[in-house]
Amino acid sequence: MMHSAILSGHYLPNDTPIHRLNPRAKIISFFTLLAVVIITRSTVGYTALGLLLLSLAHLSKTGPRIVFSGIRRVGLFLLLIFLMNALFFNGDRPLWEYAFFHISVGGIAQGANVALKVIFLMALSSILMTTTTPMEITDTFAWLLSPLQRLRIPVHDFALMISIAIQFIPVLAEESETIIKAQTARAAKLDSPKLREKANALLPLVLPIFISAFRRADELALAMEARGFRGGKFRTRKSSPGFTRLDFAALTISIAFCAAAVILHR
C-alpha cells in the first residue's frame, strides 16, 4: 500500500542517457523545466511540454506508467481542483449560471490549467527521482547551496540530513505499514466515520512509529560518534565529474524551452 506510493519516486537503476547525465546538469535542467511548467498556460505550451515529458520517460526507460503513477493517488484532489474552478470561477463566456454556480469557458480553462500544472510537476519530479540516486541529489543540493556557507549556514550538515532522511523513508514506511496492520488486527477503528474514534485510533498508531524512528536515530548517532564522525567541513566526498556534451545538450534544451515559454506567454 505505502510502498507502491513511494515507488513512483524511487531510484530505478539503469544505463540510459538520462541516468548518465551529470546530476548537477540534471537538477539545473529540472528547475528550469519547473519554471516552464509554472509559466505555461496555453494549449501549444502544454502539448510541447507533454511531448517533452513523454520523450524523457521513454529515454530514461522509466515509462509513462511509472512517471504518471503518482497522479492516480491525487486523482480525486485534481478532480476537486478542476470542479472548484469550473463551478465557482466567474470567468468569461458563461455557459450556465444558477445561484453561486458559474460554469464558463474561462472557468473550465482555469480548472484544466491548474490540474495540468500539478500533473506535469509530479511527472517531472518522478523522472528526476527515478533517474538520480539520493546521494547525487543531496551532493548537488549542497553544491547549489554552497554560496550560503559564506553566511555561516551549515550547508553540508543540511545536505547530510536530507541524505539520511531519504535513506530512512523506505525503512520507516515499511515499519509504519507493519504497525498499521498490527493495530488493524487489534480492531483499531481506523476507518470509523466518527472523528473521536478516528482520533482514539491515532495514539497507538503514532506512538510506536515515533519510538521506533527515534530508536533508529539513537543507534545511528551512536554508531557515527563511535566512528569519530564530526560532519561539516571535516567530511570528504567524491568529486563530481565535469560536464559532457550530453549535459550541455540537456541544459540547452531546457533553457530553450524556458525562453520559448517566456516569449509565448508574454
Partner 1 sequence: MSNVKKLIITAVCIALCVVLPMAFHAIPNAGSIFLPMHIPVLLCGLICGWPFGLAAGLAGPFLSALITGMPPMAFLPSMLVELSVYGIVAGILAALIRTGKPILDLYFSLIGALLAGRLVAGILNALIFRAGSYSIGAWVTGYFATALPGIIIQLILIPAIVFALERAKLIPRRYN
| Site residues for partner 1 per CB under 8 A | 1-2, 5-6, 8-9, 34, 70-71, 73-74, 77, 114, 117-118, 121-122, 125, 128-129, 157-158, 160-166, 168-169, 172-173, 176-177, 179-180, 190-191, 195, 198-199, 201-203, 205-207, 209-211, 213-218, 220-221, 224-225, 229, 231
As a whole number of Å, the CA-based R_g of the chain is 23
Q: What minimum distance in Å lies between the beta carbon of 91 and partner 1?
A: 14
| Minimum distance, C-beta of residue 250 to partner 1, in the bound complex (Å) | 19
Q: By three-state DSSP, how is residue 1 classified? A: coil
CA distances from 126 to 122, 136, 179, 212, 250 (A): 6, 15, 28, 29, 17
For the bound state, the minimum distance from the C-beta of residue 248 to partner 1, rounded and expressed in Å, comes to 25
In the complex, the smallest distance separating the C-beta of residue 242 from partner 1, rounded to whole angstroms, is 26
Alpha-carbon distances of 18 from 12, 88, 257, rounded to whole Å = 12, 42, 17
Is residue 101 classed as helix, strand or coil in its secondary structure? Answer: strand
Tell me whether residue 34 or residue 54 sits nearer to partner 1 (CB atom): 34
Contact 60, 14 (CB under 8 A): yes
- Centre a 10 Å sphere on the Cβ of residue 142 and count the other Cβ atoms it contains: 21
Residue whose cell numbers read 538520462: 18
Residue position matching grid coordinates 528547475: 31
Type of residue found at 169: I
Q: State how far the Cα of 128 lies from the Cα of 38, in Å rounded to an integer.
A: 17
Burial 84-102 (b: 16+ CB within 10 A, else e): ebbbebebeeeeeeeeeeb
Residue 121, beta-bridge partner list: none
